[in-house]
């Protein structure tokens, strides 16, 4: 008996995220678009981390990559599996935690870098915190 014959009647994990056409299985269009969007943001963020000149702009790129790269992928998982499923509910929890924790963590990293006097890129336009300290505000 072939492998496919032994699996008849056995549900495939994540089968709700796929539309069966004949014997071939294709991802649903909305799930595929969300996954592709997340992949594009992740790729652009990774390129940005490599190309940016200082730690502050790299923090911005990594924050964008985490938020806009992971959230569409998590949304695709929720749409594909359903929000009440084991995977869907966990994906929703992770998405909410990312939305709350990522900005706080990025701010903490940038603030720690600034307080330890990590130099800004020489082409940076303004340092408003230093300007306020000089003016006595």
Does residue 59 register a pLDDT over 90?
Answer: yes
Report yes or no on whether pTM surpasses 0.85. Answer: no
pLDDT at residue 27 in the model: 65
CA angle 68, 71, 76 (to 5 degrees): 125
Encoded tokens for 77: 């998982």
pLDDT of residue 96: 93
Can you give the residue ranges of every domain in the chain? 15-120
Q: Does pLDDT of 127 surpass 90?
A: no
3 state DSSP class of 97: helix
How much of the chain, in percent, has pLDDT values that exceed 90?
A: 36
> What are 85-107's pLDDT values in tens digits?
888 889 999 999 999 999 999 99
**pLDDT recorded at residue 23:** 47
**Statement: residue 136 has pLDDT above 50:** yes
Burial 92-123 (b: 16+ CB within 10 A, else e): beebeebeeebeeebeebbeebeeeeeebeee
């Amino acid at each position: 008996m072939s492998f496919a014959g032994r699996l008849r009647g056995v549900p495939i994990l994540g089968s709700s995220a796929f539309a069966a056409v004949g014997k071939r299985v294709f991802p649903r269009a909305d799930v595929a678009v969300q996954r592709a969007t997340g992949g594009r943001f992740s790729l652009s963020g990774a390129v940005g981390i490599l190309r940016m000149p200082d730690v502050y702009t790299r923090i911005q790129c990594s924050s964008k990559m985490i938020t806009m790269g992971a959230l569409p992928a998590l949304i695709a998982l929720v749409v594909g599996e359903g929000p009440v499923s084991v995977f869907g509910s966990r994906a929703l929890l992770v998405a909410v935690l990312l939305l709350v924790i990522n900005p706080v963590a990025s701010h903490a990293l940038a603030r720690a870098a600034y307080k330890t006097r990590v130099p800004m890129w020489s082409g940076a336009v303004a340092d408003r915190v230093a300007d306020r300290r000089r003016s006595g505000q």
